[in-house]
Copies of this chain bind each other. A is one copy, B any other.
Amino acid sequence: MKLDATAKGVYVIAPTPFHPDGRVDDASIDRMTDFFLASGMDGITLLGQLGEAPKMTHEESVAIVRRVISRAKLPIVVGVSAPGFAAMRALTQDVMAAGAAGVMIAPPSTLRTDDSIVQYYRQASEAIGADVPFVIQDYPLTFSVQMTPAVIRRIAQDNAACVMLKHEDWPGLEKISQLRAWEREGSMRHLAILTGNNALFLDFEMERGADGANTGYCFPDMLADVVRLSKEGRRDEAHDLFDAHLPLIRYEQQPGPGLAVRKYVLMRRGIIASDTLRAPRAPLTAAARAEVDYLLARLARRDPRAKV
């Protein structure tokens, strides 16, 4: 079951649950996986930025991928970004052998020119094998690499294995419109576009042509609803649900504490046992936890899933 450009819906970015002492928490992985299945996810992305990928050894990473694959009959995408192609290739080989559907690659933060970005993806695809489907992670806020729509089109043209764009440019709405306009006019083949940025613009991204979400907001079940409502043309309902969550979405989207918020809510929802992060980490302060509790209480008035 390999990833291809027809992917759509919600590919949830999974966090990595840890025990309070920092060990990987397998029971929580299983419970979280079951929750994702029950929530109607269309796929799962493991070991992304917010999966604390760089804090895990190669062996731990592969073990997590195996565990989730064995439990979830869903396409599993694995983040394999690395400072060099050797580690990227090694992880790719192991996770594809374990049954992953494809990999996600973010560009190194030193890339500046259009040509250097295009060349990087060509070399990366060559390094991991031209038969391995890959996702472009376009996240300038974190990676400092800016890809124009034309650069994304060039990457798609160069690499048959490029099947999806994890879109998290900001602002990013016009980028979706441009890529879809090129597709309609026939100057670009179809890529799946799933959007990130903690879903901060998911409401309009769907309307601009996105195929779904590829992010890890602590209510992925809500993401699935918004994607579905949007596809069914029930615009106001989609926005109503989205807007109810927006105060918390915004809070969780903060770079840095965002992941701690996400884990805290998932813990309060009973999905993972502990909100522990591995170092380097910035745990939530008491004030921040109280703010999240307040946001959840307010949200619960409009979405009962927030009653925790």
A interface residue numbers (CB < 8 A to B): 52-58, 60, 82-87, 90, 109, 112-115, 119-120, 123, 126-127, 145-148, 150-151, 170-171, 173-174, 177, 200-201, 203-204, 207-208, 236, 239, 243, 246-247, 250-251, 254-257, 278-280, 285, 287-288, 291, 298
Contacts and interface: CB of A to CB of B under 8 A. Distances in A.
A254 B171 contact: yes
Q: Is the interface of A mostly helix, strand, loop or mixed?
A: helix
A279 B85 contact: yes
A255 to B, nearest CB: 7
A287 B115 contact: no
A256 B115 contact: no
Nearest to A204: B291
Given A146-B112, A173-B287, A173-B288, A280 B246 contact: no
Nearest to A148: B113
B83 A57 contact: no
Quick one: which of A84, A239, A285 has the most chain B CB within 10 A? Answer: A84
A280 B146 contact: no
B279 A174 contact: no
Contacts of A279: 85, 123, 126-127
B109 A82 contact: no
26 contacts: A54-B82, A55-B86, A58-B90, A83-B83, A85-B278, A85-B279, A85-B280, A112-B146, A113-B146, A113-B151, A114-B114, A114-B115, A115-B148, A115-B150, A123-B279, A123-B280, A174-B257, A174-B287, A177-B285, A177-B287, A201-B250, A207-B291, A239-B247, A243-B243, A243-B298, A246-B250
Contact of A174 (B84, B200, B288): B288
Given A146-B112, A246-B250, A250-B200, A86 B291 contact: no
A174 B112 CA distance: 18
Contacts of A207: 291
A268 B56 CA distance: 42
Given A113-B146, A148-B114, A288-B173, A84 B54 contact: yes
B200 A86 contact: no
A85 B57 CA distance: 9
A171 B170 CA distance: 16
